């Protein structure tokens, strides 16, 4: 089972989605704050200018220039800058350029009164309000709204910092939740893999993160209970039928043998021999059904251990060479030396014996049957191949089904259970079965996870 990263989990993706939504909302909020602060700054600036202008306009005209001078001297770094022109347009007092003097609202660019240390000549734009007084003189008051702008900057910085912090916190929480979810889910996936290998007695553990997930585990376990019950019932029916019919068939065979010995008629003896052969085929079918039920039902649960697959296959070749020779076939032994796999030696012997028997039984005389082994990056691969007629590609996925037979092989005496037993043993070992074209012929390969060297 591959180990997934918490960053790829559904929990983290949900957290990322919510964090993205929050970030967009924070940007919209930041834009709204900026707009509102700018609007407030404009209104506050205009209000303060109007108030300051009204206060100065209410003073005595002869004392106005002196009053402005007092204000400038008392607060040299104050918020306001002034300019007073006489009715002829001559400058009486103030620091605002006379070019900016006109009634109404306006703006002027001047050297900043509170410059930064690294840029003392930085200019600033001031908002101006010019008012024509009763005697014809012109009063101009300007301000930069520095305090309001600084407040807006602080609010923007606060919004950016906290929006970023909350977004990062959401992502960190999503990563942690994803890691926790994957840890819980790994146990569920492990149980599912054990079920897929045929261990229907396994049940899924509770995930524990939410009631709906636990409900899902419970429902899946109930489904497994139901499937297990149905499989047990079907398996029991197959086993009972095989057991119940094997005994009378054995008796029938014994009676046929006795009749053959007592018969002097050659024709009758030939008929009895044919009946005995059919009975033997039925008994072999029932034995295969019982064996398949035992493997699939978990009746064979001996501990798996390191097996030298090379030695096992060489032994099978020695056993089946006379059988292949009698059928007019040649059997080629594997080459590759010691290759260790984890498995049940008896079941592995039956697996490859079935493959060799199938290759001999379903190919014409003169066919070459080869057994090969190789060590790959993902484990050990053992194959049984022949150069016979092969199997059509459309049929290869079906020949491991019970009782499935290709049309040309129906007269071969096979019950169609050999590859079904092979598939069950492969699943029991957690191996992989592949059926491919040998060009010409058929190749059946089993891929095992490789074990360490055999212990002495």
- Which one is predicted more confidently, 240 or 102? 102
Residues 277, 334, single domain; the answer is: no
**In the prediction, which pLDDT does 262 show?**
73
The pLDDT confidence band at residue 344, using thresholds 50, 70 and 90, is: confident
The pLDDT confidence band at residue 407, using thresholds 50, 70 and 90, is: low
Residues 272, 401, single domain; the answer is: no
Residues 309, 444, single domain; the answer is: yes
Alpha-carbon distance of 144 to 80, in angstroms, equals 8
- Find, among 132, 93, 198, the residue nearest to 430 by Cα: 198
pLDDT tens figures, 172-191: 777 777 777 777 777 888 88
Residues 310, 267, single domain; the answer is: no
- Final residue belonging to a domain, choices 271, 296, 321: 296
In a domain, 454, yes or no: no
In a domain, 2, yes or no: no
Alpha-carbon distance of 57 to 67, in angstroms, equals 11
Strand partners, 306: 342
**In the prediction, which pLDDT does 408 show?**
47
83-92, 226-235, 352-361, 424-433: which range is least confident on average?
Answer: 226-235
Residues 132, 256, single domain; the answer is: no
Question: Is the CB of residue 137 less than 8 Å from the CB of residue 87?
Answer: yes
In a domain, 207, yes or no: no
In a domain, 172, yes or no: no
The pLDDT confidence band at residue 3, using thresholds 50, 70 and 90, is: low
**In the prediction, which pLDDT does 453 show?**
47
72-76, 284-288, 327-331: which range is least confident on average?
Answer: 284-288
Residues 309, 414, single domain; the answer is: yes
Residues with Cβ within 8 Å of 218's Cβ and at least 6 positions away in sequence, in order, are: 206
Residues 29, 129, single domain; the answer is: yes
Residue 92, pLDDT > 80, answer: yes
Alpha-carbon distance of 149 to 322, in angstroms, equals 101
**In percent, how much of the chain has pLDDT > 70?**
75
In a domain, 146, yes or no: yes
Residues 256, 315, single domain; the answer is: no
| Segment (H or E) for 92 | strand 91-94
Outline where 75-210 has alpha helix (H).
Answer: 146-196
Q: Residues 48-64: what's their mean pLDDT?
A: 86
The pLDDT confidence band at residue 11, using thresholds 50, 70 and 90, is: low
Q: Work out the burial of residue 211: count CB atoms within 10 Å of its CB; fewer than 13 is exposed, 13-18 middle, 19 or more buried.
A: exposed
In a domain, 376, yes or no: yes
Residues 26, 145, single domain; the answer is: yes
**In the prediction, which pLDDT does 79 show?**
77
pLDDT tens figures, 134-177: 888 999 999 876 666 666 667 777 777 877 887 788 777 777 77
Alpha-carbon distance of 420 to 424, in angstroms, equals 6
**Per the structure block, which two tokens stand in for 30?**
């930041």
**In the prediction, which pLDDT does 1 show?**
44
- Find, among 429, 299, 291, the residue nearest to 354 by Cα: 291
Alpha-carbon distance of 98 to 95, in angstroms, equals 9
In a domain, 114, yes or no: yes
In a domain, 354, yes or no: yes
Q: Show the domain range for 46.
A: 11-150
Task: Specify the long-range contacts of residues 431-437, CB closer than 8 Å, at least 24 apart.
Answer: 433/400, 435/391, 435/396, 435/397, 435/399, 435/400, 436/396, 437/390, 437/393
21-25, 170-174, 227-231, 300-304: which range is least confident on average?
Answer: 300-304
**Per the structure block, which two tokens stand in for 386?**
């022949």
pTM score > 0.85 for this model? no
Q: What is the CATH number of the domain that holds 31?
A: 3.30.450.20
Q: What values do phi and psi take at 396, rounded to 5?
A: -65, -35
**Per the structure block, which two tokens stand in for 118?**
């690294």
What pairing do the DSSP bridges indicate for beta strands 80-85 and 340-343?
A: unpaired
Residues 349, 278, single domain; the answer is: no
Order of all β-strands in the sheet with 123-132: 91-94, 80-85, 138-143, 123-132, 104-111
| 82-103 burial: b if 16+ Cβ within 10 Å, else e | bbbbeeeeeeeebebeeebbee
Phi-psi region of 76 (alpha: psi -120 to 50; beta: other; left: phi over 0): alpha
Count of C-beta atoms within a 10 Å radius of residue 273: 13
Residues 130, 23, single domain; the answer is: yes
Residue 329, pLDDT > 60, answer: yes
- Final residue belonging to a domain, choices 296, 326, 360: 296
Work out how many domains the chain is built from and give that number: 3
- Any idea how long the chain is? 456
Residues 330, 444, single domain; the answer is: yes
**Per the structure block, which two tokens stand in for 82?**
């002034």
Please give the mean pLDDT across all residues of the chain: 76
What does DSSP assign to residue 415?
Answer: -
**In the prediction, which pLDDT does 140 show?**
92
- Final residue belonging to a domain, choices 127, 150, 173: 150
């Amino acid at each position: 089972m591959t180990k997934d990263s918490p960053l790829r989990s559904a929990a983290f993706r949900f957290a990322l989605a919510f964090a993205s939504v929050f970030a967009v909302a924070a940007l919209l909020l930041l834009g709204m704050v900026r707009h509102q602060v700018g609007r407030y700054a404009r209104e506050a600036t205009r209000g303060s200018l109007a108030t300051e202008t009204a206060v100065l306009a209410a003073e005595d005209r002869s004392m106005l220039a002196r009053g402005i001078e007092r204000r400038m001297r008392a607060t040299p770094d104050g918020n306001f800058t002034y300019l007073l022109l006489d009715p002829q347009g001559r400058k009486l007092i103030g620091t605002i350029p006379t070019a900016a003097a006109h009634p109404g609202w306006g703006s002027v660019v001047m050297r900043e009164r509170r410059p930064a240390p690294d840029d003392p000549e930085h200019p600033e734009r001031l908002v101006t309000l010019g008012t024509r007084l009763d005697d014809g003189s012109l009063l101009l008051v300007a301000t930069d709204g520095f305090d309001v702008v600084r407040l807006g900057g602080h609010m923007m910085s606060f919004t950016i910092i906290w929006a970023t912090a909350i977004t990062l916190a959401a992502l960190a929480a999503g990563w942690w939740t994803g890691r926790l979810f994957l840890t819980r889910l790994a146990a569920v996936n492990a149980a599912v893999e054990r079920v897929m290998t045929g261990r229907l007695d396994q049940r899924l553990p509770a995930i524990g993160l939410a009631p709906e997930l636990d409900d899902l585990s419970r429902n899946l376990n109930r489904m497994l209970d139901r499937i297990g019950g149905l499989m047990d019932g079907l398996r029991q029916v197959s086993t009972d039928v095989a057991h119940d019919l094997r005994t009378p068939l054995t008796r029938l065979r014994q009676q046929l043998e006795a009749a053959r010995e007592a018969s002097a008629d050659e024709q009758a003896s030939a008929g009895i021999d044919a009946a005995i052969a059919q009975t033997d085929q039925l008994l072999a079918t029932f034995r295969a059904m019982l064996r398949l039920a035992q493997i699939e039902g978990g009746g064979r649960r001996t501990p798996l251990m390191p097996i030298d697959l090379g030695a096992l296959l060489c032994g099978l070749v020695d056993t089946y060479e006379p059988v292949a020779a009698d059928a007019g076939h040649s059997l080629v032994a594997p080459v590759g030396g010691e290759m260790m796999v984890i498995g049940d030696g008896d079941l592995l012997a039956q697996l490859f014996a079935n493959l060799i028997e199938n290759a001999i039984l379903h190919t014409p005389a003169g066919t070459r049957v080869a057994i090969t082994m190789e060590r790959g990056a993902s484990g050990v691969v053992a194959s049984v191949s022949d150069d016979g007629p092969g199997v059509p590609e459309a049929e290869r996925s079906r020949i491991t089904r019970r009782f499935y037979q290709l049309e040309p092989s129906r007269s071969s005496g096979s019950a169609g259970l050999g590859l079904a037993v092979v598939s069950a043993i492969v699943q029991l070992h957690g191996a992989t079965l592949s059926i491919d074209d040998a060009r010409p012929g058929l190749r059946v390969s089993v891929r095992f996870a490789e074990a360490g060297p055999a212990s002495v």
